[in-house]
Protein backbone atom coordinates (compact mmCIF):
# COMPACT_ATOMS: atom_id res chain seq x y z
CA UNK A 1 0.00 0.00 0.00
CA UNK A 2 1.46 3.41 -0.93
CA UNK A 3 2.58 5.65 1.90
CA UNK A 4 0.07 8.26 0.79
CA UNK A 5 -2.81 6.02 1.82
CA UNK A 6 -3.77 5.92 5.44
CA UNK A 7 -5.91 3.13 6.73
CA UNK A 8 -8.11 3.44 9.75
CA UNK A 9 -10.48 0.78 10.93
CA UNK A 10 -12.98 1.89 13.52
CA UNK A 11 -14.20 -0.90 15.74
CA UNK A 12 -16.97 -1.14 18.29
CA UNK A 13 -14.53 -1.04 21.21
CA UNK A 14 -12.36 1.84 20.05
CA UNK A 15 -12.75 5.48 20.92
CA UNK A 16 -13.08 6.10 17.18
CA UNK A 17 -16.11 3.85 16.92
CA UNK A 18 -18.09 4.50 13.79
CA UNK A 19 -21.85 4.43 13.90
CA UNK A 20 -23.50 3.56 10.65
CA UNK A 21 -26.63 1.71 9.75
CA UNK A 22 -28.67 0.63 6.81
CA UNK A 23 -31.90 2.52 6.51
CA UNK A 24 -34.95 0.82 7.99
CA UNK A 25 -36.90 -0.97 5.33
CA UNK A 26 -33.97 -1.62 3.05
CA UNK A 27 -35.18 -4.35 0.71
CA UNK A 28 -33.41 -7.37 -0.65
CA UNK A 29 -33.93 -7.15 -4.41
CA UNK A 30 -32.52 -10.02 -6.41
CA UNK A 31 -29.00 -10.44 -5.04
CA UNK A 32 -28.64 -7.05 -3.34
CA UNK A 33 -29.26 -5.46 0.04
CA UNK A 34 -29.94 -1.77 -0.64
CA UNK A 35 -29.76 1.42 1.34
CA UNK A 36 -30.09 5.00 0.10
CA UNK A 37 -26.51 5.38 -1.07
CA UNK A 38 -25.00 1.89 -0.97
CA UNK A 39 -25.69 -1.60 -2.21
CA UNK A 40 -24.68 -4.64 -0.20
CA UNK A 41 -24.68 -7.98 -2.08
CA UNK A 42 -26.28 -10.92 -0.33
CA UNK A 43 -22.89 -12.63 -0.63
CA UNK A 44 -21.70 -10.32 2.16
CA UNK A 45 -23.97 -12.08 4.67
CA UNK A 46 -21.69 -14.55 6.37
CA UNK A 47 -23.25 -16.31 9.30
CA UNK A 48 -26.55 -16.45 11.12
CA UNK A 49 -25.96 -15.91 14.84
CA UNK A 50 -28.03 -15.59 18.00
CA UNK A 51 -28.36 -12.43 20.07
CA UNK A 52 -26.26 -14.05 22.78
CA UNK A 53 -23.51 -14.98 20.34
CA UNK A 54 -23.48 -11.48 18.84
CA UNK A 55 -23.18 -9.94 22.29
CA UNK A 56 -20.34 -12.29 23.15
CA UNK A 57 -18.46 -11.70 19.87
CA UNK A 58 -18.82 -7.94 19.98
CA UNK A 59 -17.91 -7.41 23.63
CA UNK A 60 -15.04 -4.91 23.80
CA UNK A 61 -11.74 -6.24 25.09
CA UNK A 62 -11.21 -4.98 28.63
CA UNK A 63 -8.43 -2.41 28.98
CA UNK A 64 -7.65 0.66 31.09
CA UNK A 65 -10.58 2.58 29.60
CA UNK A 66 -13.20 0.10 30.82
CA UNK A 67 -12.66 1.28 34.39
CA UNK A 68 -13.76 4.81 33.47
CA UNK A 69 -16.12 4.31 30.51
CA UNK A 70 -19.21 2.25 31.36
CA UNK A 71 -20.16 1.80 27.67
CA UNK A 72 -17.06 -0.33 27.19
CA UNK A 73 -18.42 -2.92 29.61
CA UNK A 74 -21.45 -3.55 27.38
CA UNK A 75 -21.83 -5.54 24.15
CA UNK A 76 -20.84 -3.48 21.09
CA UNK A 77 -19.10 -0.89 23.28
CA UNK A 78 -19.84 2.65 22.11
CA UNK A 79 -22.34 1.17 19.65
CA UNK A 80 -24.41 -0.41 22.42
CA UNK A 81 -27.33 2.02 22.01
CA UNK A 82 -27.55 1.16 18.27
CA UNK A 83 -27.43 -2.55 19.14
CA UNK A 84 -30.23 -2.12 21.69
CA UNK A 85 -32.33 -0.29 19.06
CA UNK A 86 -31.78 -3.14 16.62
CA UNK A 87 -32.78 -5.74 19.22
CA UNK A 88 -35.90 -3.75 20.10
CA UNK A 89 -37.03 -3.98 16.46
CA UNK A 90 -36.81 -7.79 16.39
CA UNK A 91 -39.95 -9.81 15.74
CA UNK A 92 -40.68 -13.53 15.74
CA UNK A 93 -38.81 -15.15 12.84
CA UNK A 94 -36.21 -12.39 12.44
CA UNK A 95 -32.55 -13.35 12.08
CA UNK A 96 -29.26 -11.73 13.00
CA UNK A 97 -26.49 -12.17 10.42
CA UNK A 98 -22.88 -11.07 10.37
CA UNK A 99 -21.75 -9.40 7.18
CA UNK A 100 -18.41 -8.39 5.71
CA UNK A 101 -17.55 -6.79 2.39
CA UNK A 102 -14.99 -8.56 0.14
CA UNK A 103 -11.21 -8.09 0.54
CA UNK A 104 -10.96 -5.75 -2.44
CA UNK A 105 -13.31 -3.26 -0.75
CA UNK A 106 -10.95 -3.15 2.23
CA UNK A 107 -7.97 -2.64 -0.08
CA UNK A 108 -9.85 0.24 -1.74
CA UNK A 109 -10.61 1.75 1.70
CA UNK A 110 -14.34 1.10 1.28
CA UNK A 111 -14.83 -1.99 3.44
CA UNK A 112 -17.51 -2.53 6.06
CA UNK A 113 -18.59 -5.28 8.42
CA UNK A 114 -21.08 -5.78 11.22
CA UNK A 115 -24.42 -7.36 12.03
CA UNK A 116 -27.71 -7.09 10.17
CA UNK A 117 -31.29 -7.73 11.21
CA UNK A 118 -32.99 -9.71 8.44
CA UNK A 119 -36.74 -10.25 8.17
CA UNK A 120 -38.22 -12.25 5.28
CA UNK A 121 -35.26 -11.53 2.99
CA UNK A 122 -35.28 -7.84 3.89
CA UNK A 123 -32.65 -5.98 5.86
CA UNK A 124 -34.54 -4.14 8.56
CA UNK A 125 -31.56 -2.62 10.38
CA UNK A 126 -27.81 -3.06 10.77
CA UNK A 127 -24.94 -2.02 12.99
CA UNK A 128 -21.63 -1.44 11.20
CA UNK A 129 -18.87 -2.45 13.62
CA UNK A 130 -15.87 -1.95 11.31
CA UNK A 131 -15.20 0.24 8.30
CA UNK A 132 -12.30 1.82 6.51
What total of structural domains would you count in the chain?
Answer: 1
Residue 3 lies in a domain: no
Q: Give 35-55 pLDDT, tens digit per residue.
A: 433 456 677 899 999 999 999
Residue 9 lies in a domain: no
Cβ 88 vs Cβ 125: under 8 Å: no
Mean pLDDT of 4-30: 35
Residue 10 lies in a domain: no
Residue 101 lies in a domain: yes
Q: Give 105-130 pLDDT, tens digit per residue.
A: 999 999 999 999 988 887 788 999 99
Residue 70 lies in a domain: yes
pLDDT for the residue 104? 95
Cα 105 to Cα 17: distance, rounded to the nearest angstrom: 19
Residue 6 lies in a domain: no
Residue 102 lies in a domain: yes
> Environment class of residue 117 by beta-carbon count within 10 Å: exposed (0-12), middle (13-18) or buried (19+)?
buried
Residues spanned by the domain of 100: 17-131
Phi, psi of 67 (to 5 degrees): -65, -30
Residue 7 lies in a domain: no
Q: What is the pTM of this model?
A: 0.69
Amino acid sequence: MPLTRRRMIATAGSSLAAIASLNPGSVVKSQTLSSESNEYPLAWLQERISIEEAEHRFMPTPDDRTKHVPELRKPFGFLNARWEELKARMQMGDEIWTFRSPPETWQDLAGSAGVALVRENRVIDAVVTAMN
